[in-house]
Each structure stands twice: as C-alpha cells, then as structure tokens.
C-alpha cells in the first residue's frame, strides 16, 4: 500500500515556460502566456486543476507575501497558453512565478521550481540612447565606450541593436553566443533588439564596452540574382542600465561620446565573404584603459524607421566543428578539403606564417574532374563564397569570420606554404539555434540516410530568422519552399518562436492596399505563385496545430483574409488563372524534367485548401459569419476544381500525373464513392508510367507519399522511397549527396552542377516518416490528444520515433515479425491517445493480457474495437506494449 501511494503521488510541474521560452528577459508581451509540463509515473496521469502565484522577488514568492498575482485554484486540465493574470507588465518589470497542480485523484503537487520573466523596453520613450554611426564607407567599424561604476551592480542589462550585424563585448569578453545578429526584417517596419544580462561581466571601477558592426542585411549591396537589398550604412543603438544595492541606477548609452575606429575587417558581405587583415588589428581595443588617441567620436545616425521589438526567435549560433576527412593538393599552393558533409558555417584556421602572407578560402558543394571546386551550384563562376585572411606574422594566429556564412562541403585553401595539418583547420557548423526535439529511425538503411540528409538540409536552411531556399546562392525566405518543408521542420526541431517571428514578417511585407504577399519574406522579391503567399496561412495554422498557438491566428486573421481577397482577383469561373495581374505565376516547382502539371490546377488547389483552413480558423476564433463564408468558398472552389479537372470515367485529375490525384485528395475534392477509382488510377500511373519512381515537385511529393499510404498503396510508396535510380532520393545519395538537391537531376542548366545541392524543399519526406510510418500526429492542438497510427509499409521490419510536444515526450517503436506486430508507446501526462494498430493479426494483447477478441478492462485503456483496417484503442497517458499475434 505504501509503495502504491509513492508511485501515484502528484509531482511538481516541470519545464515551465513563458512565451515558449525558459526564464526570458526582454519580452514584449504585457500579458505573457505561461506553460508547464506534468510529470509522473503510472497510467492515466492528468491534471484537473492548477494554481499560479507570482511576485516581484524570489523571497516574496516563496513566503507567499505581497503577491502580484494569485490565480487561486482553477479547475482545468490546461497547462499551455495560460495568460498572466497580474497587472499588465511595465518596462523592465521582472516577475517570479511558480505553479502547482492537482491530479486525477485530487492530490495536490508541491510547488514547482521558481521561474521568472522580465519585460524589455516596451515604450519608445524608454529609449534615451541615440542611433550612432561611423563614416559611411568604413567596413566593420569598432566602437568602444568606457564608463565608471562606483560598485559592482546588483543588476545590469544592456538593450542593444546593431545594423546590419553586431558583435558585443564587455571588458574584452564577448557577451552571449549569438552570431550574425540581429535577425533579418524589413528594417523600415521592424527592428529587433536584444536584452543581455551583463552583471557578471561588469566590475567596480572602469569598464569598457566594445561593439563591431557588420554590414549584414542592412548594408547589402553586392548581390547578383535579386534586386538591391540596401537600407543604409551600419548604425548602432545601445543602452546599459546598472542598478546598485541602494536602488539607484546608472545609464550608459550610445551617443557622440562613443569612440570608433577602423578595424581589420576590410570587407564583409553575407554572400561573398570577408577580407581580414590581421596587421590592422587593434590590441585590447575593447578593454579598459586602451589608448583611443586616434579614435573618432561617433556621429548621430538616422533611425532605420522600424519599430524596436524584442528578437523572439533565436539568432544563429555555432553547433560544433567538423574536421576535414581529406586534404588534397590540386596545384602548387592550393589544397581542397573535404569535410564529408554539406553544411553551413565557415572555417576556423590556426596558422603561423609571415607578415602579409595571404590565405584565400573558397567554398563549394561539388568538384570538377580535376579536383578543384565547382562554384556554380552555390552562385556563379565569377561570384564566389570567399574569405581572405592576411597574416600579422605574430606567432600562431587563429581566424574565423564574423559577419558572413557559407554553404559548403568542400573548401579550397590557397596561400599555405606547405600542406596544412587536419588539426589546424576545422569547419564550424552554424545555423539558427533551434532545439532538436524529434528523432526517427527504421530498419531500412536508405530511409535512415534520407532522414539524415533531410535534417541537415532543413537546418542548413535556417539562418537570420528565415527559412531559406538555399543557404548560399539566394538566401531568401521563399514562402513556397518553406511551406512544403514546414511540417518536417516542426517534427525535427522546436520551431514555434522561429515561425511566429517569421509570420510577423509576412504582416510587414504584405501590401496593405491590395493584400498581395510577396514570394520572399521579408525581402519583397523572387519568383513564385499563390502557394508562396499561402505559406502565411498554412504555417500559422501549423503553429496552432502543433504548438497550440491560438494568438498567432488572432493576430494575423485580418491579414490572411486580405490575402485571400487578393487571390480572388485572379479567379475566373472558380479557377485561379493568375496571381493578381501576374499572368506567369508559378504553380508546381522542381518536378523531374518538364513541369507538366498546370499552374492553374495547383493554384486553385491552394486557394481552396486555404479557404478550408480559414473556415477552421474562423470557427476557433468564434467568427460564425466568416466561418460560413469560407465554407461556401471552399465548396464552390472544389466544385469548380472538379468541373474543370476531373474525369469521372477514368478517375483522372488534370493530366493524371505529377501528383494531381494527391492534390485532389488533400483538398477534399474526391468523393468517397470515387476513391477506389481515383486511387487505382494514381497507383497504376506510378507503377506503369513511372516505374515506381517519383514524378512530383516540391508540393506534390509529400502529398503523393501520404496519399499512397492513406489509400492502401503503401507498397508503392515504399518502392518510391527506397529506389536508387533517377528520379529518387536514393539517386541523390548514390551520387554523393549529403544534403538534398534543388532538383531531382544532379546537373541542371548550362553548367555542370548548376543546381543547388543544399536545399530543404524535398526534406518534407521527413515529416511523412514521423506522421505516416512511425505514426505520430496531433489529434487536437499541441498534442493534447494524440493520434498514433503506425504504417509498416513494404519490407520495413521496425521503426521508432520520438517527438517532444508541449505536454511531454511522445515515443513510438514498432516491430513486424513473422509471428506478429509489436508496438511500444509512451504517452505524456495530461494527454490521451487514439492508437490505430494495422490488421496484422487476430489476437491483440497489452502486456500479457488479451484485449481482443476477449474484452477485458485494464488500467489506462478506455476502449478497444475492431475496425476495417485493424484495431482502434483509446488510451490514457503512460507506457504501453501492444502485441498483435497472427
């Protein structure tokens, strides 16, 4: 009895977050959203009530005195999106909070560990600093400001923004791990600043603040394949606030008293690299007491125009290093390093040489037959990703760039006097700091390789707050590319803050007069079609489905309506014929060979699909009139779609190829009585016309896989996934791919390897692995209710996946043998799951107890029933082992 009580006790909640972050400082929400996760062993663990208390100090909170909020006991199972109920936050205000819960038996948990959140500078008048700059044409100017503190402060913050990029240090030490920061925006609309806790970096006496400004996205002039991306010359804003024990405050701010000087970075550009002359270094420039005789006073700069906001999403950070697998000499003083993996980042050199000796580094994904780098897949032959380092000659020197990144597997180094040693050169892996919170593996080696290169491609495309089309050539946030890869990103990484911030960029980019959304965001350029703008609606919807973010739907609802209104201007007889006045807009993209599927087919699909999403969103937000409007729009679009594209006699949609039937299925355009004919036509086309190969582009590929599996043609899907001849994922891998290609072809265009070989679009298949093969999916927002529906397709013997959700870890592991089917599950506390087990046996057990055909009750299992496709089991939280005997 005692053991049972111990096992079933109610544990304190864990992993408390505010605005989807732990202990955030500088937030811009005055009523932030709180969340936590319930933990516990055993089955059926659920929350029935909670209580949150908050105070302005840790001591007050623990003593429960002078609370600024007490929710009292709230009867609710909700543990996500709970609005802070105290007074609206004021600038700089810090609130400490904790929570306790009551479980399914009414047991009360201990209080959670104390957490906090802190507001940033919420009002324009909170900023007392000036925007400052150096001379216009100076590359990467260095700024410094000395100041005196009477004592070490109790609390200290710096609020800072440097455009385009900045690196911030205090007393000679870099603060934070952010790189290539701040994230990109339309700087005339939004400008991100950071808040750093710098108390530990400060000392009693003289302190020195140092900042280097890079061009970043603000002073970006050198670009050849999209329009000029220039806002102005670099500028800087900072405000240090140090608080003493007696409550007094000292403010140090950017103004004309700040000094600046030229530094060793002679050139810096996002696309084309950096030139660094170590002979021009400024020794100890960011430390107290450094000589500033020849330093100039900063100038007042014009503000960039955008509203200052906290940067919610992570900046880029370093994720470790890779040593070269091989170093090959290709000419007298030129060496090619193969790192064995296509990555994003840069090189870190350790070198000793003569003063003025120049080392040039060039980067690429492929090699010419002579072993030199082929630059065409990463840009053009005459514009290359390149860093140049000029040695000071002062002993062992270490170099890595600050304000650029490169996409590469191979690096070409010229200027070494002898072959470099592997330990003296390493590749630094850099991308946005999203947390890995999903994993997938299975019994098929090729599928595991596809998962691996998909993850690399997805994360290589995350930089500066944008999901990029390519991390080297264009580096733009193309909506269509991001839309198709979004679900895969969400399954593999925690993307909530990243996507929520990027969706704000759509609002900034949208034409407020006609509702048009550009194809690239935040830069308003690049080719595309309606699907690219529909990313606004689709990714907002995914943030709700996977993270429970209802606020994103509220915030952007009117803008999303405006976008569909714009699309309607190109509709004729229910079919999207054009995107506004653009008669040449794209539909599908990157099919094998010629794109045959009509743009009007694809674009009408997206119009109808987004009308359906807007129907759901309107319902969630309680907008009944709009819900009915979008329900009618969806049905009218489906009717027009069927009338224009469906052949009832054959079951064919449009051209009957490149995934047309899958688009129709995803749209909801196939009637139940037509499904067998339509799916049979689709399957026959793939088998006979395509030889079980893909013929789809970036949108049709995930739709086709999922439609095949859903319609009972999993064997064909397996053959397509595991093929290794053109066109297929296996063909890429067989040809040396370590990241996904832009096209199914290895070579495309006028030059060998002119297509990008590091692009995330086809990484969408990773999402299908999690959702369709392992079988993990949300049945209600944020996985409060979970659908577990594994699909052992083809020759797969086992598959396993894990996904950290807003309620905890969901894990699935299944194995198919000659004797039966085994399924291990873990369902987090405070959730329920519907488990669909495939029809691979006649006797269903959980543990050692038979559930079917003999009905028996068992803890945590609410219902067991036989279905046409197998078994359906409704379960509560906990760990389970189902076994289906043949």
Tens digit of each residue's pLDDT (9 = 90 or more) over 838-851: 999 999 999 999 99
Average pLDDT of 784-798? 98
pLDDT at 124: 95
Q: Output the CA angle 716-721-722, nearest 5 degrees.
A: 100
**Residue 129 reports pLDDT greater than 70:** yes
CA distance linking residue 650 with residue 677, whole number of Å = 7
Average pLDDT of 401-407? 98
Average pLDDT of 809-825? 97
Contact by Cβ (8 Å): 330, 371: yes
Contact by Cβ (8 Å): 316, 179: yes
pLDDT at 749: 52
Q: Output the CA angle 10-12-15, nearest 5 degrees.
A: 135
pLDDT at 1: 31
CA distance linking residue 622 with residue 376, whole number of Å = 52
822: left (phi over 0), alpha (psi -120 to 50) or beta: beta
Confidence of residue 246 (pLDDT cuts 50, 70, 90): very high
Average pLDDT of 463-481? 95
Average pLDDT of 315-338? 96
**Residue 562 reports pLDDT greater than 90:** yes
> 775-885 — its CATH code?
2.60.420.10
**Residue 5 reports pLDDT greater than 60:** no
Contact by Cβ (8 Å): 16, 113: yes
CA distance linking residue 759 with residue 742, whole number of Å = 6
**Residue 2 reports pLDDT greater than 90:** no
**Residue 3 reports pLDDT greater than 70:** no
Confidence of residue 221 (pLDDT cuts 50, 70, 90): confident
Q: Which of 828, 839, 829 is nearest to 789 (CA)?
A: 839
pLDDT at 521: 95
Q: What is the enclosing helix (H) or strand (E) of 224?
A: none
Structure tokens at 13: 């909640």
Average pLDDT of 816-825? 96
**DSSP assignment string, 794-830:** TT--EEEEEEEETTEEEEEEEEE-SSEEEEEEEEEEE
CA distance linking residue 527 with residue 74, whole number of Å = 51
pLDDT at 215: 97
**Residue 718 reports pLDDT greater than 80:** yes
> 127-311 — its CATH code?
2.60.120.260
pLDDT at 291: 81
Average pLDDT of 277-292? 94
Contact by Cβ (8 Å): 209, 145: yes
Contact by Cβ (8 Å): 119, 56: no
Structure tokens at 7: 């096992």
Confidence of residue 288 (pLDDT cuts 50, 70, 90): very high
Contacts (Cβ under 8 Å, ≥6 apart) of 130: 237, 253, 254, 255, 256, 300, 301
Question: Which residues pair with residue 863 across a beta bridge?
Answer: 874
Q: Which of 576, 546, 551, 550 is nearest to 563 (CA)?
A: 576
> 438-773 — its CATH code?
1.50.10.10
**Residue 885 reports pLDDT greater than 90:** yes
Average pLDDT of 739-753? 75
CA distance linking residue 259 with residue 837, whole number of Å = 69
Q: Which of 73, 50, 70 is nearest to 60 (CA)?
A: 70
Structure tokens at 261: 């000087």
**Residue 225 reports pLDDT greater than 90:** no
In the chain, what is the straight-line distance between the N-terminal and C-terminal CA atoms, in Å?
A: 39
Domain boundaries, the chain: 2-119, 127-311, 317-432, 438-773, 775-885
Contact by Cβ (8 Å): 178, 220: no
Confidence of residue 583 (pLDDT cuts 50, 70, 90): low
CA distance linking residue 393 with residue 352, whole number of Å = 7
114: left (phi over 0), alpha (psi -120 to 50) or beta: beta
The Cβ-side half-sphere exposure at 479, using a 13 Å CA radius, reads 33
Q: Which of 720, 716, 717, 715 is nearest to 730 (CA)?
A: 720
**Residue 752 reports pLDDT greater than 60:** no
Q: Output the CA angle 348-351-355, nearest 5 degrees.
A: 125
**Residue 448 reports pLDDT greater than 50:** yes
Question: Which residues pair with residue 368 across a beta bridge?
Answer: none
pLDDT in tens, 482-532: 999 999 999 999 999 999 999 999 999 999 999 999 999 998 778 899 999
Output the CA torsion sign for 568, 572, 577, 583.
Answer: negative
**Mean of all residue pLDDT scores within the chain:** 95
CA distance linking residue 213 with residue 134, whole number of Å = 10
pLDDT at 6: 47
Global pTM value = 0.96
Residues in the chain: 886
Contact by Cβ (8 Å): 705, 717: yes
**Residue 224 reports pLDDT greater than 90:** no
Least confident of 375-379, 589-593, 705-709: 375-379
Please indicate whether the domains covering 317-432 and 775-885 agree at the CATH topology level: no
Check whether domain 317-432 has CATH 2.60.120.260, yes or no:
yes
Least confident of 434-443, 557-566, 575-584, 676-685: 575-584
Question: Which residues pair with residue 878 across a beta bridge?
Answer: 827
Confidence of residue 255 (pLDDT cuts 50, 70, 90): very high
Check whether domain 2-119 has CATH 2.60.40.1930, yes or no:
no
- Could you check whether the bond before residue 727 is cis, i.e. omega within 30 degrees of 0? yes
């Amino acid at each position: 009895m005692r053991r049972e009580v111990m096992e079933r006790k109610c544990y304190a909640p864990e992993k408390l977050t505010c605005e989807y972050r732990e202990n955030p400082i500088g937030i811009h929400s005055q009523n932030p959203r709180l969340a936590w996760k319930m933990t516990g062993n055993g089955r059926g663990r659920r929350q029935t009530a909670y209580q949150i208390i908050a105070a302005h100090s840790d001591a007050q909170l623990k003593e429960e005195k002078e609370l600024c909020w007490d929710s009292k006991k709230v009867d609710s199972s909700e543990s996500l999106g709970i609005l802070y109920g105290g007074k609206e936050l004021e600038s700089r205000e810090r609130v400490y909070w904790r929570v306790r819960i009551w479980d399914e038996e009414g047991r009360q948990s201990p209080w959670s560990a104390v957490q906090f959140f802190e507001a940033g500078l919420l009002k324009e008048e909170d900023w007392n600093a000036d925007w400052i700059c150096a001379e216009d044409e100076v590359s990467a100017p260095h700024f410094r400001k000395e100041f005196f503190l009477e004592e070490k402060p109790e609390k200290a913050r710096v609020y800072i923004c440097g455009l385009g990029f900045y690196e911030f240090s205090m007393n000679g030490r870099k603060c934070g791990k952010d790189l290539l920061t701040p994230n990109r925006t339309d700087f005339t609309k939004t400008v991100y600043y950071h808040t750093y806790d710098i108390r530990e970096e400060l000392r009693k006496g003289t302190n020195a603040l140092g900042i280097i400004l890079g061009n970043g996205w603000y002073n970006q002039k050198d670009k050849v394949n999209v329009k000029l991306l220039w806002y102005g010359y670099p500028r800087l804003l900072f405000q240090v606030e140090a608080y003493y024990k007696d409550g007094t405050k000292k403010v140090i701010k950017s103004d004309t008293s700040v000094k600046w000087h030229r530094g060793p970075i002679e050139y810096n550009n996002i696309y084309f690299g950096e030139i660094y002359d170590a002979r021009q270094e400024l020794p100890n420039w960011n430390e107290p007491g450094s000589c500033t005789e020849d330093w100039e006073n900063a100038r007042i700069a014009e503000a960039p125009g955008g509203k200052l906001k906290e940067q919610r999403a992570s900046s880029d950070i370093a994720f470790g290093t890779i040593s070269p697998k091989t170093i090959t000499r290709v000419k007298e003083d030129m060496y090619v390093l193969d790192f064995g993996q296509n990555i994003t980042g840069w090189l870190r050199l350790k070198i000793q040489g003569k003063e003025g000796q120049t080392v040039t580094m060039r980067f690429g994904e492929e090699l010419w037959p002579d072993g030199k780098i082929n630059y065409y897949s990463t840009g053009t032959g005459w514009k290359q990703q390149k860093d140049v380092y000029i040695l000071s000659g002062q002993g062992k020197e270490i170099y890595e760039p600050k304000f650029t990144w490169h996409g590469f597997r191979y690096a070409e180094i010229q200027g070494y006097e002898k072959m470099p040693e592997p330990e003296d050169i390493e590749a630094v892996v850099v991308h946005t700091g999203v947390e890995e919170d999903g994993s997938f593996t299975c019994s098929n080696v090729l599928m595991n390789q596809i998962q691996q290169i998909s993850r690399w491609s997805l994360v290589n495309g995350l930089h500066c707050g944008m999901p990029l089309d390519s991390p080297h050539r264009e580096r733009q946030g193309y909506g269509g590319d991001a839309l198709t890869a979004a679900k895969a990103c969400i399954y593999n990484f925690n993307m909530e803050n990243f996507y929520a911030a990027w969706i704000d960029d759509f609002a900034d980019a949208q034409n407020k007069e006609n509702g048009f959304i550009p194809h690239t965001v935040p830069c308003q350029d690049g080719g595309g079609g309606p699907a690219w703008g529909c990313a606004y609606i689709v990714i907002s919807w995914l943030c709700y489905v996977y993270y429970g973010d209802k606020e994103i739907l509220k915030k952007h609802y009117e803008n999303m309506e405006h976008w569909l209104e714009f699309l309607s201007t190109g509709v004729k007889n229910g079919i999207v014929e054009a995107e506004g006045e653009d008669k040449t807009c794209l539909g599908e993209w990157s099919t094998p060979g010629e794109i045959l599927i009509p743009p009007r087919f694809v674009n009408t699909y997206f119009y109808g699909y987004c009308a359906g999403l807007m129907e759901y969103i309107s319902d969630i937000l309680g907008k009944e009139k709009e819900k009915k409007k979008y329900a009618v729009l969806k049905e009218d679009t489906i009717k027009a779609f069927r009338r224009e594209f469906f052949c009832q006699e054959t079951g064919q949609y449009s051209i009957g190829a490149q995934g047309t039937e899958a688009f129709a299925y995803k749209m909801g355009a196939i009637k139940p009585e037509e499904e067998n004919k339509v799916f049979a036509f689709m399957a026959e086309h793939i088998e006979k016309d395509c030889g079980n190969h893909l013929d789809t582009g970036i949108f049709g590929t995930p739709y086709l896989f999922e439609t095949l599996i859903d319609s009972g043609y999993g064997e064909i899907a397996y053959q397509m996934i595991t093929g290794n001849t053109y066109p297929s994922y296996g063909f890429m891998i067989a040809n040396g791919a370590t990241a996904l290609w832009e096209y199914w072809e290895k070579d495309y265009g006028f030059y060998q390897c002119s297509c990008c070989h590091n692009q995330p679009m086809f990484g969408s298949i990773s999402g299908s692995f999690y959702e369709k093969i392992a079988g993990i999916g949300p049945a209600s927002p944020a996985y409060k209710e979970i659908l577990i529906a594994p699909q052992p397709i083809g020759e797969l013997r086992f598959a396993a996946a894990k996904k950290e959700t807003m309620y905890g870890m969901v894990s699935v592991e299944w194995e198919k043998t000659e004797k039966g089917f085994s399924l291990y599950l873990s369902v987090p506390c405070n959730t329920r799951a519907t488990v669909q087990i495939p029809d691979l046996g006649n006797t269903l057990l959980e543990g050692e107890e038979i559930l079917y055909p003999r009905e028996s009750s068992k803890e945590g299992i609410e219902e067991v029933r036989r279905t046409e496709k197998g078994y359906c089991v409704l379960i509560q939280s906990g760990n389970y082992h189902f076994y289906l005997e043949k």
